[in-house]
Amino acid sequence: MSWEALAEHQKTIADSHMRDWFAADKQRFSQFSLQIDDIFLDYSRNRITEKTMQLLCEFADQQQLSQRINAFFGGEAVNTTEKRPALHTALRASKHTVVKDEISKERARLYEFVTQVQQGKYKHIVNVGIGGSYLGPLLTTHALKEFAISPLQFHFISCVDKMALDEVLTQIDPETTLFIISSKSFTTAETLLNTETLIRWMSEKLGKKAIAHFVAVTAKPEKARALSIPSERIFPVWDWVGGRYSIWSAIGLPLMLMIGSKNFDAFLAGAQAMDEHFCHADFNKNMPVIMALLGIWYINFFDAKAQVIAPYSQRLRYLIPYLQQADMESNGKSVNHQNEQLSYHTAPVIFGEAGCNAQHTYHQHLHQGTQLIPVDFIFVKNKQRNEHDDMLFASALSQAQALMHGMAHDQAYRELSGNRPSNIILLNQLTPHSLGALLALYEHKIFVQGVLWNVNSFDQWGVELGKQLLPEILQQLNGTISGDASVAGLVKEYRK
């Protein structure tokens, strides 16, 4: 019902221009903006009226969003295909949850380990992992460098490209390096091959002492023990924590080592503040819900297929791959919970670039291309403003204005129609607290969209299939060639 009402409403506003709405309504900015804790969201540059938001919220009600939020936080098996809950929010909850005791026990053990490492001989930390076991640590250790309380240097090995691994090895000293092998499943081929190579390299340098330089974060401790990593150096990531939502667990160990346990607690508290807001605010004042509804509005009613993430902050440059995984791995689905084919589009293609660089690469397409691509501009305020901050902020705002305003036909050789939507997200400083809140904001946006599209946001069968095919093809590179003509032909080419 609301879906049809939204489609009808879209027709009535499709020809209206945002610049006319701004000219006619001085309240538009205050009406379509809100502040939650450290985060300010301006969503006034969207193709929406009050009626649009009302209909979108009705649609959310109709899809029983409140009940689904309660089920999610309450630990129901929202991951329907794998029949388990998605309880990453419990990792930052101060209230009692079914898994509270396990979390407290393991966090105490982790924090003790963090102190030991910070006081010990280590100078280099190498995180070995991929996907969710890599992108969260990468993003957060870059974003929160100013909060480092230890001089440790952080390195990341994710893909199997030997050049990337060798590059890290040239920068470290075996005696003072700690390797964190992060893999929830401990079956991910890239991580296992990199680990084997690193153990071999370390053994050549340090002999039997080598294995003492390895710790593991995994849901399969027995597999880590099989590599001789002792139990006291294995930290859990539970089944109920999805890889792409795991930065709040022991997967966040690199961040804990860098900023210390107090700051890590602040990171968790920032996320928890967003959780509280998400659980209790009315939909029309609920930041993750509003952002999710805007996404649905464009994808399903304006045929948008992509979404730009534009952090005008170098510190947040790895937010882009982080959100690519979070969003596309969660909602890149074409069947619903009942395993029926969907008749509508789901997750957008997420892309982006930090700072003004994108203005000189793909922004032309955003301004004048044939597709409508909404943008999230993210800007971090700096207490001691300087001319670079001013230019950076002015750049983001002028891009948002140009996208919205466009240029009338008689002013431009080729028409710049404008009317292109964007959000502006302002962070009051980049801190562990505000970063935690920002990541939780996007997590919940993605969750809401999954609910409204009726897809399971917590499985990833497509990726699993790729993981299964890899060993078969790998075997063919040195063994009997089988498979279809394309595989056989390419394997022959490769072996030549």
Residue 347: what residue type? A
> To the nearest whole angstrom, how small is the minimum distance from the Cβ of residue 442 to ligand F6P?
16
Q: Is 191 in the site for ligand F6P (CB under 6 A)?
A: yes
Per CB under 6 A, contacts with ligand F6P among 223-262 are 243-244
Torsion of the alpha carbons at 119, 122, 124 and 129, rounded to the nearest 10: -90
Which of 191/261 has CB closer to ligand F6P? 191
Binding ligand F6P (rule: CB under 6 A), the pick from 54, 63, 185, 395 is 185
Binding ligand F6P (rule: CB under 6 A), the pick from 463, 481, 487, 490 is 463
Determine the interface stretch with ligand F6P among 123-131, 148-156, 393-401, 481-489 (rule: CB under 6 A).
123-131
Cα of first residue to Cα of last residue in the chain, in angstroms, is 61
Which of 212/463 has CB closer to ligand F6P? 463
Q: Is 47 in the site for ligand F6P (CB under 6 A)?
A: no
Spatial neighbors of 118 by CB under 8 A, at least 6 apart, are 149, 150, 152, 257, 260
- 392 touches 312 (CB < 8 A): yes
> To the nearest whole angstrom, how small is the minimum distance from the Cβ of residue 451 to ligand F6P?
20
Per CB under 6 A, contacts with ligand F6P among 128-157 are 129-133
Which of 44/191 has CB closer to ligand F6P? 191
Q: Is 184 in the site for ligand F6P (CB under 6 A)?
A: yes
Binding ligand F6P (rule: CB under 6 A), the pick from 89, 188, 286, 422 is 188
Q: Is 331 in the site for ligand F6P (CB under 6 A)?
A: no
Which of 263/330 has CB closer to ligand F6P? 330
Determine the interface stretch with ligand F6P among 31-39, 99-107, 162-170, 183-191 (rule: CB under 6 A).
183-191
**Rounded distance, CA 13 to CA 186, Å?**
51
**Rounded distance, CA 438 to CA 295, Å?**
17
> To the nearest whole angstrom, how small is the minimum distance from the Cβ of residue 401 to ligand F6P?
38
Buried/exposed code over 270-308 (b: 16+ C-beta within 10 A; e: otherwise): bbbbbbbbbeebebeebbbbbbbbbbbbbbbbeebebbb
> To the nearest whole angstrom, how small is the minimum distance from the Cβ of residue 190 to ligand F6P?
8
Which of 127/419 has CB closer to ligand F6P? 127
Query: CA nearest 421: which of 348, 313, 357?
Result: 348
Torsion of the alpha carbons at 363, 368, 374 and 378, rounded to the nearest 10: 30
Q: Is 84 in the site for ligand F6P (CB under 6 A)?
A: no
Which of 159/412 has CB closer to ligand F6P? 159
Size of the residue set binding ligand F6P (CB under 6 A): 15
> To the nearest whole angstrom, how small is the minimum distance from the Cβ of residue 49 to ligand F6P?
39
Binding ligand F6P (rule: CB under 6 A), the pick from 141, 313, 330, 460 is 460
Write out the catalytic residue numbers: 329, 360, 467
- Give me the 431-450 binding string for ligand F6P, x by CB under 6 A, dash otherwise: --------------------
Which of 7/159 has CB closer to ligand F6P? 159
Determine the interface stretch with ligand F6P among 93-101, 161-169, 177-185, 469-477 (rule: CB under 6 A).
177-185
Interacting residues with ligand F6P (CB under 6 A): 129-133, 183-185, 188, 191, 243-244, 329, 460, 463
